[in-house]
Amino acid sequence: MRVKRRLLLMLMMAFLMAFTVACSDDDDDSSSNVGTDGEIAGDLEIQYFVGGYGDSWWKEVIADFKEAYPDVNIIEHAGPNINEEMRSRWVSNDPPDVVYIDGAGSSETQMVEDGQLMDLTDWLAGIDLEGGDKLADSFIVKPANYDGKIYSLPLVFDTWGTWYDKALFEGNGYTIPTNFDEFMESMSEIKAGEGIDPFVTTGQHPYYFLRGMLYPAFAAAGGEELLADVITGKEGAWSSEQVLDIMTRVEKMVDEGMFDSGLGALNHTQSQMNFLLHENAFIPVGFWLPNEMKNDIPDGFDFGFIPSPMNAAGETYAIVPDLRPLAIAEEAENPDAAKAFVEFVFTREYASSFSGHTGAIMNLNGVDLSQNEDVPVYLTEANAMINDPAVVQIYEKPHPMSADLETPIGNALISLMLGNMTAEEFIAEAEKAAGEYRAGLE
Q: Which is nearer to another protein, 31 or 92 (CB)?
A: 92
The 3-32 site mask, x for binding another protein (CB under 8 A), equals -xx--x---x--xx--x-------------
Q: Near another protein by CB under 8 A, which window of 39-47, 246-254, 256-264, 375-383?
A: 256-264
Find the helix or strand (DSSP H, E) in which 44 lies.
strand 42-49
Torsion (CA) 174, 295, 306, 430 in degrees, nearest 10: 110
The 412-441 site mask, x for binding another protein (CB under 8 A), equals x-xx--x-x---------------------
274 binds another protein (CB under 8 A): yes
Q: Distance between CA 263 and CA 280 in Å, rounded?
A: 11
Q: Return phi, psi of residue 97, to 5°.
A: -80, -45
Q: Which is nearer to another protein, 165 or 429 (CB)?
A: 429
Length of the chain: 442
- Can you tell me which of 40, 156, 258, 266 binds another protein, judged by CB under 8 A? 266
Chain centre distance of CA 411: 20
Q: Distance between CA 355 and CA 430 in Å, rounded?
A: 37
- Can you tell me which of 40, 61, 98, 111 binds another protein, judged by CB under 8 A? 111
Interaction with another protein in 116-135: which residues (CB under 8 A)?
116
- Can you tell me which of 263, 306, 318, 379 binds another protein, judged by CB under 8 A? 263
Alpha helix stretches (DSSP H) within 215-301: 215-231, 241-255, 268-276, 289-292
Q: Near another protein by CB under 8 A, which window of 28-36, 105-113, 220-228, 339-347?
A: 105-113
Minimum separation from the CB atom of position 404 to another protein (A)? 5
Interaction with another protein in 183-212: which residues (CB under 8 A)?
203-206
Do 224 and 234 contact (CB within 8 A), yes or no?
no
Write the DSSP assignment of 148-205 as a string of letters. TB---EEEEEEE-EEEEEHHHHHHHT----SSHHHHHHHHHHHHHHH-S--B---SS-
Q: Distance between CA 232 and CA 438 in Å, rounded?
A: 9
Interface with another protein by CB under 8 A: which residues?
4-5, 8, 12, 15-16, 19, 84, 87, 90-93, 105, 107, 110-111, 113-116, 203-206, 260-267, 270, 274, 279, 403-404, 407, 411-412, 414-415, 418, 420
